[in-house]
Amino acid sequence: MQRAMANRLTPYMFMAPAVVIMVIALLYPLGYMVWGSFRDWDPSQTIGEAEFVGLKNYITLWHDPNFRESLGVTLSFAFFVVTFEMIIGVGLALLLDRNIRGMSVLRTLFILPMMIAPVVVGLMWRYMYHPTVGTFNRFFESIGLPSVDWLGANALMSVIIADIWQWTPFIFILSLAALQSLPRSALEAARIDGATGWQQIIHIKLPLMMPVLIVTGLLRLIDAFKVLEVILVMTEGGPGLSTEILALRISRTATEFRELGVAAAMSNYLLILLLFITLMMFAFTRWQEMRTNRLRAAAEEDE
């Protein structure tokens, strides 16, 4: 009797530490933030002392041109980064999916940029983009081209390039894994039927990889909204607001302008955006599962 009781409690005992920590340090803070976003909240006050102002923070933000610009910067950063990384990453995977010596060494070198601290990545690129001592401008100078104002007039582009450098390998590795797990029979059949390389890619490889590619792209999209340190070190959001993504603006609103309520409301806008993307990912994987189940059922009926 006692033994059965203990067995019934086992899963809860295994879950308990994780649940306690996540409630204390993740869910409760998130609720606290939602609550705080309805208040005019200064860092020196406790949340109880802060005045309740209803939706004021949200409405102010909605009409704030700076917030809108920052939102625009965030969206275009995420869009360009994910698009270019998907194109380059998948392209490279298709190109390098060959039986060559030293592939594992190659993959090791490619994941290096992802593992290094974002702060350090920002530091390296800030040096390379430096107007006078930087690597790029020196190189341009030595071959007689005019120098480029990387972190000035073209700041957003420069930041996007740095992110592409850091995260394209992620897409590359995942799509290479997807490519190598494709059913050999389909490719074999296409080759026997005389499909050219391009035809194989467009009609067989890409459609079969699609589920993995979509999930990868959405994961990368979610991560693109988390980028902060690289940009902070490279440009600190400037010049002007040209590279001030939302994450950076939240941290500045909280620490420099000392408006915790507004920062909380801004965080909520960002969360809602991300929630939307995550739900899309869920819906997609569910749909995918249902479709494979249906296909399998159909195949079984045929037999």
Our separate counts of H helices and E strands in the chain read 14, 2
Sequence-distant (6+) residues with CB within 8 A of 43 are 254, 258, 260
Residue with tokens 């007039």: 153
Does residue 207 belong to the site contacting another protein (CB under 8 A)? Answer: no
Residue 93's H or E segment, with its range, is helix 65-96
DSSP 8-state secondary structure symbol assigned to residue 40 = E
> Among 236, 240, 291, 297, which residue interacts with another protein (rule: CB under 8 A)?
236
3-state secondary structure of 39: strand
Cα gap 290→91, rounded to integer Å = 29
Given 1, 2, 54, 101, the residue binding another protein (CB under 8 A): 101
Contact 93, 176 (CB under 8 A): yes
Q: 204 or 231, CB closer to another protein?
A: 231
The tally of CA atoms less than 13 A away on the side-chain side of residue 169 is 14
Cβ closest to another protein, residue 186 vs residue 228:
228
State yes or no: residue 214 binds another protein (CB under 8 A): no
Radius of gyration of the chain (CA): 25
Report the site for another protein in 52-91 (rule: CB under 8 A): none
Residue choice 55, 116, 145, 290 for contact with another protein (CB under 8 A): 116
User: Interaction with another protein in 156-185: which residues (CB under 8 A)?
Assistant: 165, 169-170, 173-174, 177-178
Residues 124-153 that bind another protein (CB under 8 A): 124-128, 132-133, 135, 138
Does position 206 interact with another protein (CB under 8 A)? The reply is no
- Cβ of residue 161: shortest distance to another protein, in angstroms? 11
Kindly report the backbone phi and psi dihedral angles of residue 151, in degrees, each rounded to the nearest multiple of 5, phi listed first.
Answer: -90, 10
Nearer to another protein, 1 or 95 (CB): 95
225 binds another protein (CB under 8 A): yes
What is the nearest approach in angstroms of another protein to the Cβ of residue 190?
18
Decide if residue 270 touches another protein (CB under 8 A): yes
